[in-house]
Amino acid sequence: MLEVQGVSAGYQGSDVVRDVSFRVDEGETVMIIGSNGAGKTTLFRAVCGLLPLSSGRVTFLGEDITGLPAQKVVRRGLAFVPAERHLFPQMTVEENLVLGAYPDKPDSEVLETVLELFPRLGERFRQLAGTMSGGEQQMLAVGRALMSRPRLLVLDEPTTGLAPIVARNAYAALGRLQEQGLTILVAEQQVPLALAISDRGYVLENGAIGLAGTSSELASDPRVRSAYLGIA
Amino acid sequence: MTASILDGIVLGLQFGVLAAGLTLVYGLGGVLNLAYGQIAVVSGLITLLTMEAGLPAVPAALVGLVTGGVLGLVFDLTILQPVYRRHGEARVLLSLLLTLGAAFVIDGYLNWRYPLQGLNLRITGDPLVILGVRMRMGSVVASGITIVVIGVLFWLFRYTRLGRAIRSVIQDEEGSRLVGIDPQVMMRLILVLSGVLAAIVAITRSMVAPVNVRAGFSLTVLGLIVTVVGGLGSIPGAFLAGLVLGIINSVASSYIGTFLSLIILLVAAAITIVIRPAGLLGVRE
Amino acid sequence: MSGRALAAGTSLVGGVETRVSRSLPRLFGSIAAMAALLALVPLWVGDSRVRMGVAILGLAFACYAVGFNLIFGSTGQLFLCVGALAGVGGYGTALLADRAGVPLVAALIISTLGAALVGGLLSWVAVRRSLGVIFAGIITLIFALSFENLVLGASTLTGGDAGIQVSAGSGTFLRQRTAGYYVMLGLVVLCLVVHGLLRRSRVGWAFRALRDDEVAAELAGVDVSRYRVYAALVGSAMLGLAGGAYALIAGRVSPTTYGFAQVDVVVIVMLAFGGIGSLFGPVLGAVVFTILDELLIELGQLRLLAYGALIIVLFLWIRRGVIPTLAGLVRRTPGSPPAPAAGEEPG
């Protein structure tokens, strides 16, 4: 579904990620793990159209979307939830969600699904997004992305700033979305959480893919275990 | 006293519309349009010329509104394009300089070609008595139109999908892109809207007092001050500040005198900016 | 700061490298050369009283431009009250000398200090409240407008719209066109010397540091607020001094002598020509503009249109100013390092 080939991107002339390639097939959940500064955010921003690529190609659903700006990418069915979430703080939960469906009118079925998934959002329906807790904002960010009925949901470190139990709940929700057949690509520092729901994964180190494989392969790899799972 | 306050409200409403156009553009794009007053003046002039060509007042006014919108669009498509390529303070500064240049170009041409022209829409009708004060029909109609405009703006931004989309770009530009909104398209629409608002200012103001071609810069500066006091980027702030400053100006004028009251207005604005840089209703960044 | 290695003796001003020579003789030499050139002007136009008046005004504007350049170019404070500060000097000198009987020189000094204090105060307020560029611009604009209206309104004192004749200085050499010209030229030299010395001192280093990257400057121990206020004090003093001297030399002041539209706007255009941040830019810009304005006088109001178009072109394509760009082109002779391209501001 998503094919990233030889992508390099960075800021002010110097590349943070170099020649990165990976793919995500329909129905899969793929994780990209790596420590802080490995380049996960830069990679995702480049793929999703928020950052220009210095080289490489991105193909989504058979279409070349290299260099396409973010607002067009989401209309093709790729919804991105960045680590900073970028919600609309002075708008209510309802307004944020409704905007998620832009330019279409919000689909009531989708809205129902989102509210079922995140009942808290229903409780806070008319509350301003800026006044909510971190966990609630994360739910809203994901919910807003879902309102566009994406084929692929891309999340960059969804557990940023969340307490452990809230983070687990977030991944539980992602798990349910996965069951419903949504294709998910997630970048994560908290590897155990991502491992639990992913089919495959890539390890990003210093801007390049170091390892790749299924989740079980990665989970048993000694380098992954020592570096990311804290197992000697 | 009541008369001054009512006059102040009439004035304040116009200040508000004046500021609304400026604040919209700043709130959305971080751009200050110093040629705003010129857009108003040109729209007024076109209305005048259209009336002189034989068209009745209302269609001529519509032509003026369209002129304003078109001018806003032209600005977006031409001199603002390089401005959008910068960010933050560099963007504001460049927008100041380039729109200042544009303002000179327009003023220079207007003063050369139509040096003594001014739009003056006389509204016939006996003065209305409001709260015991005789208000000229022109003031009443102007205020009425302005209130309708405020209502339309409110409805637009609160209840329409487009309005919400525009607000989203103001609140979080990246977030808006993530939901499929193109900030550049929104910016273009806002610029057209601000041009139309500028035209409305010229047309309604001319119902109260003549708006001549030299008024461009005074309008811009006034608008700028009201905008800053109200809070850059806040439309309700623009109208609130407009009313407050309009009333202060009017009351001070009747009791003290024009020059001094203008200074009081300016100083009041300065004090607000210093005490609360975000403005009355501004959002702290 | 920006990670680029800076060649010794150079610095980044607004993203453009300028060479700040440590050599004092070079500084004085250049200023003297420029002064010598300008000193020749009366030879050409000395017989025309009108033309000399224009030349004197041009030099006054050169001082204004140097002052504004110091405040804005060196420390990034957008002071939109150049005319008003000069007006404090001008009206202050005139009123103190004529109405209060203060001796001429003392009146000039007092009003210069007054202008410095006002400018310093505006800067201090902006700094204390951490007001950004636009707010500083608006506050100073408000001051400029208030000053203009104050002068217009207090007509018994200031002559209002019509202005006042300045009797102080009449009958002295100041009113003779040629002598007055040289006095003004002396002021230009003074302003350049002051600015030039500042740039080469520790203060100048601090200015450049905070202009390039405020955060890095703070971390390097530069008290950004203090240096901003210093720049405002010195720059405003220049403005007040020039404004006061002009009042004495021209013999008459009115609101339009120091109005926003007449002064500030023109100063900005001059700096567009001559370059912001360089030492001689303002003077060159003033000279070019004055000549251009005189040549185009037939066009009347259309001049405004021309200047507007020029501002747009200049600030769009030639960021450093016409003169520095041309100089850069000239300097690109074989063997010398290429002048850095005026690129977009980062971030």
Q: Which of B79, B263, B272 to mutate to test the interface with C (most CBs of C within 10 A)?
A: B263
Touching subunits for chain C (3+ Cβ pairs under 8 A): B
B281 touches chain A (CB under 8 A): no
Q: Which residue in C has a C-alpha nearest to residue B103's C-alpha?
A: C308
CB contact under 8 A, B104 and C268: no
Structure tokens at C4: 């680029």
Residue C209 has pLDDT above 80, yes or no: no
Residue A154 has pLDDT above 90, yes or no: yes
C302 touches chain B (CB under 8 A): yes
- Three-state helix/strand/coil letters over A73-118: HHHCCEEEECCCCCCCCCCEHHHHHHHHCCCCCCCHHHHHHHHHHC
In this complex, which of A72, A88, A105 lies closest to B172 when CB atoms are compared?
Answer: A88
Instruction: Average the pLDDT over A119-143 and give the result.
Output: 90
* Reported confidence tier of residue C5, pLDDT bands at 50, 70, 90: very low
Q: What is the pLDDT of residues C137-186, one digit of tens each?
A: 888 988 998 898 888 888 778 777 778 888 777 777 777 888 888 999 99
CB contact under 8 A, B86 and C132: no
Residue C244 has pLDDT above 70, yes or no: yes
Residue A232 has pLDDT above 80, yes or no: no
In this complex, which of B109, B217, B266 lies closest to C142 when CB atoms are compared?
Answer: B266
Residue B52 has pLDDT above 90, yes or no: no
pTM score of the predicted model: 0.82
In this complex, which of B85, B225, B270 lies closest to C344 when CB atoms are compared?
Answer: B85
Q: What is the pLDDT of residues B228-255, one digit of tens each?
A: 888 877 888 899 999 999 988 888 888 8
B204 located within any domain? yes
Instruction: Average the pLDDT over A57-72 and give the result.
Output: 91
pLDDT score, position A69: 92
C135 touches chain B (CB under 8 A): yes
Residue type (1 letter), C65: A
pLDDT score, position B140: 85
Q: Specify the number of domains making up chain B.
A: 1
**Listed residue (C275, C295, C296, C293) closest to C284, CA to CA:** C275
* Reported confidence tier of residue C321, pLDDT bands at 50, 70, 90: low
Percent of chain B predicted with pLDDT > 90: 31
Instruction: Average the pLDDT over B153-161 and give the result.
Output: 89
B28 located within any domain? yes
Question: What is the extent of the structural domain holding B32?
Answer: 21-214
Tell me the count of B-C CB pairs closer than 8 A.
122
pLDDT score, position B84: 85
Query: What integer best gives the mean pLDDT of chain C?
Result: 80
Structure tokens at C284: 């060159």
Q: Nearest CA to CA, how far is B157 from chain A (Å)?
A: 12
How far apart CA A28 and CA C25 sit, in angstroms, is 74
In this complex, which of B175, B182, B183 lies closest to A86 when CB atoms are compared?
Answer: B175
* Reported confidence tier of residue C325, pLDDT bands at 50, 70, 90: low
Q: What is the pLDDT of residues C180-207, one digit of tens each?
A: 889 999 999 999 999 988 888 877 777 7
pLDDT score, position C347: 29
Where do the DSSP E strands lie in chain C?
Answer: 10-13, 16-19, 164-165, 252-253
Q: Which of C122, C273, C315 to mutate to test the interface with B (most CBs of B within 10 A)?
A: C315
CB contact under 8 A, B269 and C268: no
How far apart CA A156 and CA C241 sit, in angstroms, is 60
pLDDT score, position C78: 85
B87 touches chain A (CB under 8 A): no
Q: What is the pLDDT of residues C70-80, one digit of tens each?
A: 998 888 788 99
Burial of B198 (0-12, 13-18, 19+ CB in 10 A): buried
Instruction: Average the pLDDT over B160-186 and give the result.
Output: 90
Residue A45 has pLDDT above 70, yes or no: yes
pLDDT score, position C305: 87
Q: Identify which has the larger pLDDT, A189 or B118.
A: A189
Q: Nearest CA to CA, how far is B145 from chain A (Å)?
A: 29
Phi, psi dihedral angles at B195 (to 5 degrees): -65, -40
If you ran DSSP here, which 8-state letter would residue C256 be given? G
Q: Nearest CA to CA, how far is B77 from chain A (Å)?
A: 20
How far apart CA C158 and CA A185 sit, in angstroms, is 74
Q: Which residue in B has a C-alpha nearest to residue C138's C-alpha?
A: B225
How much is the ipTM here? 0.88
B208 located within any domain? yes
**Listed residue (B20, B29, B51) closest to B196, CA to CA:** B20
B178 located within any domain? yes
CB contact under 8 A, B225 and C138: yes
Size of chain A, expressed as the number of residues it contains:
232
Q: Which residue in B has a C-alpha nearest to residue C130's C-alpha?
A: B277
Chain B partners within 8 Å of A70 (Cβ) = 174, 177-178
Instruction: Average the pLDDT over B181-191 and give the result.
Output: 92
B193 located within any domain? yes
How far apart CA A227 and CA A223 sit, in angstroms, is 6
Chain B partners within 8 Å of A88 (Cβ) = 167-168, 171-172, 175-176
Chain B partners within 8 Å of A75 (Cβ) = 180
In this complex, which of C143, C149, C268 lies closest to B259 when CB atoms are compared?
Answer: C149
Q: Identify which has the larger pLDDT, B109 or C22.
A: B109
Phi, psi dihedral angles at B30 (to 5 degrees): 60, 35
DSSP C146-189: HHHHHHHH-HHHH-TTT-EE--TTTTSGGGSHHHHHHHHHHHHH
* Reported confidence tier of residue C7, pLDDT bands at 50, 70, 90: very low
Chain A partners within 8 Å of B172 (Cβ) = 86-89
C306 touches chain B (CB under 8 A): yes
pLDDT score, position C172: 76
B157 located within any domain? yes
C193 touches chain B (CB under 8 A): no
Neighbours of C338 (CB within 10 A): 8
Among positive and negative, which fits the CA dihedral B25, B29, B30, B33?
negative
Chain B partners within 8 Å of C308 (Cβ) = 100-108
Q: What is the pLDDT of residues C212-229, one digit of tens each?
A: 676 777 777 667 788 889
Chain B partners within 8 Å of A85 (Cβ) = 175
Name every residue in A having a CB less than 8 A away from some CB of B.
49-50, 69-72, 74-75, 79-82, 85-91, 95, 98-103, 105, 144-145, 148
How far apart CA A97 and CA C300 sit, in angstroms, is 58
Residues 101-130 of B with CB under 8 A from C: 101-109, 111-112, 115
Q: Nearest CA to CA, how far is A221 from chain B (Å)?
A: 36
Q: Nearest CA to CA, how far is A198 from chain B (Å)?
A: 24
* Reported confidence tier of residue C322, pLDDT bands at 50, 70, 90: low
Tell me the count of A-B CB pairs closer than 8 A.
71
How far apart CA C251 and CA C278 sit, in angstroms, is 32
B89 touches chain C (CB under 8 A): yes
* Reported confidence tier of residue B79, pLDDT bands at 50, 70, 90: confident
Q: How far is CA B212 from CA B44, B92, B118, in A?
A: 8, 29, 4
Chain B partners within 8 Å of A102 (Cβ) = 161, 165, 179-181
Instruction: Average the pLDDT over C302-320 and give the result.
Output: 79
pLDDT score, position C92: 92
pLDDT score, position C207: 75
How far apart CA B50 and CA B44 sit, in angstroms, is 10
In this complex, which of A50, A81, A88 lies closest to B168 when CB atoms are compared?
Answer: A88
Q: What is the pLDDT of residues A4-22, one digit of tens each?
A: 888 888 888 788 889 999 9
Q: Which of B104, B106, B227, B284 to mutate to test the interface with C (most CBs of C within 10 A)?
A: B104
Contact present, C234 and C116 (Cβ < 8 Å): yes
B283 touches chain A (CB under 8 A): yes
CB contact under 8 A, B175 and A70: no
C297 touches chain B (CB under 8 A): no
In this complex, which of B32, B225, B257 lies closest to C134 when CB atoms are compared?
Answer: B32
Residue C319 has pLDDT above 70, yes or no: no
How far apart CA C175 and CA C100 sit, in angstroms, is 21
**Listed residue (A86, A14, A82) closest to A47, CA to CA:** A82
CB contact under 8 A, B167 and A88: yes
**Listed residue (A229, A181, A184, A178) closest to A203, CA to CA:** A229
B285 touches chain A (CB under 8 A): no
B224 located within any domain? no
C316 touches chain B (CB under 8 A): yes
B258 located within any domain? no
Q: Nearest CA to CA, how far is B177 from chain A (Å)?
A: 5
**C-alpha R_g of chain B:** 18
